[in-house]
Amino acid sequence: MLNCTSPTPRSLVADLEKDLFPYRQVRPVKDFSSPLNITLDITVVGVLGVVSPHTGLHFFLIRQIWDVQECGTEKVSVLRESIWVPDVHIAEFMEEDKSPRTPYVYLYNTGGVFDDRPIRVVSSCKLDIYTFPFDIQNCTLTFGSYVLLLPPKTLVGIKRSRKDLFMATKLTKVCLFHQKLILRRKPLNYVVNLLIPSCFLVTIDIFSFMLPPHSVDRSSFKMTLILGYTVFLLIMNDLLPVTGNQTPLINVFFSVSLALMVASLLETVLITHIQLGSSHGAIPDWLRTLVLQYMAILVCLPPLKKKRAVTVFLNPSATGPQELSDASPAEKTTQDSVLEELRKLSRHLAAIRVQVDKHFQGNHSMQEWEMIGRVVDRFLFGLYIIFITVTFITIIAIWIWNNSYVA
């Protein structure tokens, strides 16, 4: 125990240099077989691609080094090189520790030593990125120390030659213990930059079904949407993790979203081909029955109503007998020629009317093909909504289940 001449820092340091510092190369125990208590505390400061813990190392030299009233303080900072410090290391180190060196440690009057220093750890850790960005990583750090021990029985038979002295030493690994680090990723950045924009694009693709299927704008809009989504994935590819043994669930989410957009474009092409089916000829009876009678009821579309447009033809032989009988022969000839021209004009107008009605109303087969396209379009849209809902609920449930299971 130190006897300070006065409660001043100079007196305390002078006594330490006299009674403690000269023995800094010797483990501070009574004999070689006595253990030394070492406590290790870890505080993770940040994860910058590597685990960067801040370690606090507590160990005890001897009991009661000095009296607080005589020396004036409970602890004093001394140079690390001035006392014995255990060589605690981490087995998972992959690179040299490049953290800033702290030259001082705290020495307490009870014999305790507190070494508070940062350590930048680049370690090997098996990462499970299946639930990225809602993943929880479990990394293990193995702490140990290599201590040079000279058993007392061996010291008796040691010769003075360096060779025999080297043979008598024994390198022993002691105080191995494992520290488990549980790291939870902050997913907000990935949700804002990846998941929300992807959901917005899928929502826009859903609302694009409101456009007329036979219109060119619908197919071109979907092609533009697919191109934009592909560019979005290329830009945000740096935020995605590098795949290992397992494919991240978020990659499956993006692949499913892109596949759904491509499927919706193919559906638009199919419906456009059906609705512009004037060249298909007559509709088969089984197709008319299946689509127009059963599927139309399933998708809540009213049945096709037949248009009852009637073209009225005037009787070309209708003449005014009273007028003709009272006319003279010359006038009768003139009236006959005029009536004949009027009859020809009436026939031409009726033919023009028939063609105009066919042009605007279309024939019945064309109307049925258009109705079939509408029914199939709504039916496939319903399947599209169901598949999107089930897929997204399944992916979200897997994310939630894995997080609750790991936690």
Model pLDDT for residues 220-241, shown as the tens digit of each residue: 899 999 999 999 999 888 888 7
Of 215, 196, 41, 64, nearest in space to 114 by CA:
41
Distance CA 342, CA 339 (A): 5
Helix (H, G, I), strand (E, B) or coil at 54: strand
**Residue 205: Cβ-neighbour burial (10 angstroms; 0-12, 13-18, 19+):** buried
Residue reference for tokens 């800094």? 24
Confidence of residue 163 (pLDDT cuts 50, 70, 90): very low
Listed range (110-119, 183-192, 307-316) with the worst mean pLDDT: 307-316
- Total-model pTM: 0.63
- Which of the four pLDDT bands, split at 50, 70 and 90, describes residue 324? very low
**167-181, 254-268, 287-301, 312-326: which has the minimum mean pLDDT?**
312-326
What CA–CA distance (Å, rounded) separates 377 from 269?
11
Residue 159: per-residue pLDDT: 38
Q: What is the pLDDT of residue 258?
A: 93
**What average pLDDT score do residues 167-179 get?**
51
Tokens 């689509």 identify what position?
291
Closest to 387 in 3D by CA, of 218, 225, 267, 230: 267
pLDDT band at 206 (very low <50, low <70, confident <90, very high): very high
What is the SS3 assignment for 313-338? Answer: CCCCCCCCHHHHHHCCHHHHHHHHHH
| Residue 398 contacts residue 247 (beta carbons within 8 Å) | no
Per-residue pLDDT, 150: 40
Single out the residue of 132, 129, 22 nearest to residue 81, CA to CA. 22
Supply the pLDDT for residue 166.
33
pLDDT at 328 over 80: no
Among the ranges given (43-47, 263-267, 396-400), the one the predictor scored with the smallest mean pLDDT: 43-47
Domains, the chain: 9-185 (2.70.170.10), 190-303+352-405 (no CATH)
Residues 6+ apart with CB under 8 A from 366: 277, 278
Q: Which of 85-89, 155-159, 361-365 is most confident? A: 85-89
Report percent pLDDT > 70 for the chain.
Answer: 76
Chain-centroid distance of CA 178 in Å reads 31
Could you report the per-residue pLDDT of 249-296, keeping only the tens digit for each?
899 999 999 999 999 999 888 888 887 765 566 777 787 778 877 888
Residue 356: pLDDT above 80?
no
